[in-house]
Amino acid sequence: MRRVITYGTFDLLHYGHIQLLKRAKALGDYLIVALSADEFNALKGKKAYFSYADRKRMLEAIRYVDMVIPEENWEQKPLDIERFNIDVFVMGDDWQGEFDELLDGKCEVVYLSRTPEISTTQIKRDLNS
Ligand code: C2G
């Protein structure tokens, strides 16, 4: 059982997120999503439109997602890798290289290409224009 993990806010869920989750799941058999808690989003300088509970509910409805856990800080990644016996850590390539050192030797680290034309920020901008 190859276990995959990925992290993110996943606010205003869109097909870029779905594409990432689909490709992440294809790298193994079980996909855990560490979903940024509202408090952690504040640390990231983000304010999600949907609450953690609502974002979690939406992710849990996606066929590629097997488990959703809270992401509460930057430091938990190596602990999560241990705790959930993770084989593959996956992020979009806007994070290219960011976690190589932190996870060195702990698991495979894979950066997948982002879906270029869509983002939560773009959606908000378009809706406000
Ligand atoms: N993503 C993507 N294509 C898009 C938008 C997002 O592939 N058009 C990917 C991102 O690269 C990321 C995931 O979807 O891997 C979630 O995106 P965000 O919710 O924006 O996550 P982020 O705020 O980057 O949080 O500790 C890591 C952070 O929590 C990542």
Measured from the CB, is residue 115 less than 6 Å from ligand 1? yes
Average pLDDT over residues 42-58: 96
Choice from 91, 120, 123 to test ligand 1 binding pocket (greatest atom count within 8 A of CB) = 91
CA distances to 21, 28, 68, 99, 121 from 103, rounded to whole Å, are 20, 18, 20, 6, 29
Mean pLDDT, rounded, of the chain = 96
| Per-residue confidence (pLDDT) for residue 86, from 0 to 100 | 98
Q: Would you state the structure tokens that stand for residue 126, as one six-digit string?
A: 């378009």
pTM beyond 0.85: the answer is: yes
pLDDT (tens digit, 9 = 90+) per residue, 1-48? Answer: 999 999 999 999 999 999 999 999 999 999 999 999 999 999 999 999
